[in-house]
Structure 1
Amino acid sequence: MNLLKIPLGDWIEKLEEWLTGNLGPLFDFIRSVIGSMVDGIEASLIVAPAMVLIVLITALAYWIGKWRIALFAFIGLLLIDNLGLWEPSMQSLSLVLTASILSVVFGVPIGILCARSQTTQNIVTPVLDFMQTMPAFVYLLPAVSFFSLGVVPGVIASIIFAIPPTIRLTNLGIRQVPSELVEAADAFGSTPAQKLVKLQLPLAMPTIMAGINQTIMLSLSMVVISSMIGAQGVGAFVYRAVTQAKTGIGFEAGIAIVIMAILLDRLTQSAFKKK
């Protein structure tokens, strides 16, 4: 039995054409804001010599973590510089930091709304399921259509892929606050804002921070994929190595990504524990 195929793909393409034709100024504004953020972060990372930044990051790692983290940071960053991948790594790091910052800025408030409203959670949860299970490569297609090639669509795709953990764990952390404490706050006449800021967020902070940590890691995992649409950085070296079958270059770039991933993970975890 042959059933009439639903023209879902055609509908999506028509929607994409409509959005591109009618919301062009909005997309231009978003591209300008995100591009400026990435450029600003990248400029701040490469304005000083590599050795200066390595020493500063090592000192930061020692202050918020342990000497083992500081030693790993010093040796790992020196290796990245020695391999000639310092500037590409900083370009990738600027993309990761921009995507992570925007994910937290939008993700935490959405998670709070989900915790305060069951209806909002029921609406947002299927959207998050869609965002987490849809192959990341699919995000690149509309991102390129709306924002052209370059780092901006890479950041947009990274946000879509990385924001769900922050939303989910913010929601979970607030909902796990003991009801007895919430009732006590109500009994003392706390307003909803006071209850959120002084009780729920502080108690939920470890869970929220775990979500932010996962968001950072997922943003970093998009570095290589973003290079497929023109985003510069160490991911471009991996992509070029794959297309040209250059195992050595690919391994070097992969090592740089691994070092950044481990360093970001350990630093964020130590910073959260320190707090």
Structure 2
Amino acid sequence: MENNYHVPVMLDACVEGLNIKPEGVYVDVTFGGGGHSREILKKLGKQGVLIAFDQDPDAQRNKIEDPRFRFVDQNFAFLKNNLRLLGYRKVDGILADLGVSSHQFNEPERGFSTRFDAALDMRMDKQSELTAAGVLNTYSEEELHKIFGIYGEVKNAKSLAATVVASRVSGSLQTLEDFKRVIAAHIPRGKENKYMAQVFQALRIEVNAEIRVLESFLEQTAEVLNPGGRLVVMSYHSLEDRPVKNFIAKGKFRGEVEKDFYGNEQKPFRAITRKAVVADQQELERNSRSRSAKLRIGERI
């Protein structure tokens, strides 16, 4: 099932980055098709434990039948509380693969892909209220300008936002075709796919509060990892990579690392690799999604 669902990027590098102890407790906070989880279980002994998080109901079908495996159908923003509910205050390693799974892109009704005409949905958690249609039909011009500009790095974000707001006079935007028709004049010729991917990224990040959730998750990892425990995070665009990089390097998302009275740096992690790990040629040929992937590894001090 998992092979059709999602091909994990840099699988070996991710699992090696965890530096697995056979009797340790590990967390895969982006379970998806279970590719990473299956690989982690291979390296765990009988007493080892793997806890997997995923809020997507589709991912629950991939659950693994193994006495060492626990599944939590929650967003990783609730990492610490859910670990405590399961009786774990500390763990030995945490893995996060922040990409949208191939499965989600391939399911037309989820509204993640620019390839299908579907409802403007984009919710990772189907219980959540806010959809992409909700954002486009209710947000102010200023809010839309900010989302397209910051989250999508869309060059004509201001005029795009103005056009979306003006279009509401003649009815609400409900499907991808509605949206494309309204913004057709703004889509650069020859760069249609890239432009729509940027716009969709912006909407997806807003609908799922991805940056806020990521920052909350990173702060919790520092609280729940044992000394020597590893944090392994793979991101696919600079908006995600920046907070990961800053948190591992400085213990905060903005500004310089804090120091104590004696000048010692006050930060929870040390970076295992100075630069992000990127895909090699073999990986690129096997999986085109790995082109933009950046893997960062921190060890709890």
TM score, norm. by length of structure 1: 0.31
Larger helix proportion, structure 1 or 2?
1
User: Relative contact order (C-alpha < 8 Å, sep 6+): which is higher?
Assistant: 1
TM score, norm. by length of structure 2: 0.29
Structure having the higher Rg: 1
